[in-house]
Amino acid sequence: MSVRGPYRRHSLQFKIQNCTDIRSGKVGRREALKTHNLSANLMQMWLTQFDRGELDLEEAAASTVAECEAHIAALERKVGQLTMELDLLKQTPRLRLVSDNEIIDRQRPEACSIRRGCQVIDLLRSTYYYRPSIAARPIDDLALAALIDDIHDEFPGYGYPRVTLELKGRGHAINYKRVARVMKAHGLNVRRRRSFKPAPGSEADLSVYPNQYRNNIPKEPDRVWVSDITYIRIASGFAYLAVILDACSRKVIGYALSQRIDAPLALAALNAAYSARQPAAGTCIHHTDRGCQYASALYRNALAQFGLIGSMSAPANPYNNAQAESFMKTLKVEEVYLAGYETFNDVANRLPYFIEQIYNERRMHSALGYQSPNKFEAQLALQAA
């Protein structure tokens, strides 16, 4: 069995010459086939075209000229490419004091691609495109203390774990042990407040809800809400803040300010929270202390209208409402005590910014894996999707 050779293209001049030699008797057909390694069918097709006058000498001459011109043009392009690469190679020994990347960038002619330039100087393209990351400059203890002080200006209640993570978020990867040491040496540690000890109180029969919560942290939002009211001292007296937090994410989902501490204040915070979240009826526990605002008929009716399950702490025991109490402590230490509010308008203008932009959006919580409430809820939403 004969093996077919590679595909060949035959010029029109070649076809005419072979057909002319065969028809004139100068060369036999068998001899022509053997000499040029042609098939009998191909030669028969050429002879048929020749006999019909389909093989034109003028066309053959023009085709030959075109093929020669194309070949010359290809050779010229090759010569130009080789000349360009030779120029690059001639300059390379003088440029060895600079990197190969700079040789490609500065000396490579415009017509030479990066791929071909790398091949000429034997440089991997991955090496050319590699850009090493800039190593962080070492920071001394004084500069580190200044950075920590800046963080405390924004987050006064941060201890060394949160400060370490905040530094990392700002591009400074520093060991937490060093952060703790520098904070201690420069007096930047947060003062711990004395823990509260509940006093024994009366278990009088009040118009209150039983404790349905008992600090069992839910796994998803809008299963438990916790609420509380606090005062904020101003020059003319007090401003009062009512808040409602989601027990899962610690996010403030509703709040209200007033110059009076009454049931409408608590109800305004409840309306804000329900408008923002709207949990299904009977699925969300609403937990508070035993304040008269929450035990009022106005508030209890609102809970029933929204389908929320009422729950209250034991008397004189803030541990039953620990998450709300913890937020109030954070609010006082990191905002109220430092702000020096003088008027109610000062409170109304500044406090929403702290709650929404600082606490909900940016402040890290250890119970949330050092994430902000908004980021934590976004992560839960992705996991549930």
Domain residue limits, the chain: 12-55, 58-129, 141-185, 224-384
125: CB partners within 8 A, 6+ apart: 114, 115, 118
| Mean per-residue pLDDT, 277-287 | 92
For 49, counting Cβ atoms within 10 Å of its Cβ (0-12 exposed, 13-18 middle, 19+ buried), the class is middle
Q: Are 144 and 179 in contact (CB under 8 A)?
A: yes
pLDDT in tens, 38-74: 888 888 888 888 888 777 665 655 666 667 777 787 8
pLDDT in tens, 230-239: 999 888 889 9
Backbone angles phi, psi at 238, to 5 degrees: -140, 150
| DSSP classification of residue 246 | E
CA distance 316 to 318: 6
155-163 contacts: CB < 8 A, separation 24 or more? 155/334, 155/358, 155/363, 156/190, 156/333, 156/334, 156/338, 157/190, 157/330, 157/333, 157/334, 158/190, 158/364, 159/189, 159/190, 160/189, 161/366, 161/370, 162/364, 162/366, 162/370
E strand or H helix at 60, and its extent? helix 57-91
Reduced to 3 states (helix: H, G, I; strand: E, B; else coil), residue 328 is helix
CA distance 295 to 312: 9
pLDDT in tens, 126-174: 776 766 655 556 788 888 888 888 888 778 778 888 888 888 888 888 8
Instruction: Report pTM.
Output: 0.53
Q: How many CB atoms lie within 10 A of CB 266?
A: 28
Q: Output the pLDDT for position 98.
A: 47
Torsion, Cα of 366, 367, 369, 371 (10° steps): -70
Q: Output the pLDDT for position 272.
A: 94
Q: Which CATH fold topology does 224-384 show? A: Nucleotidyltransferase; domain 5 (3.30.420)
Q: Are 162 and 371 in contact (CB under 8 A)?
A: no
Region of poorest pLDDT, from 163-177, 222-236, 292-306, 351-365: 163-177
Strands 237-246 and 252-258: antiparallel
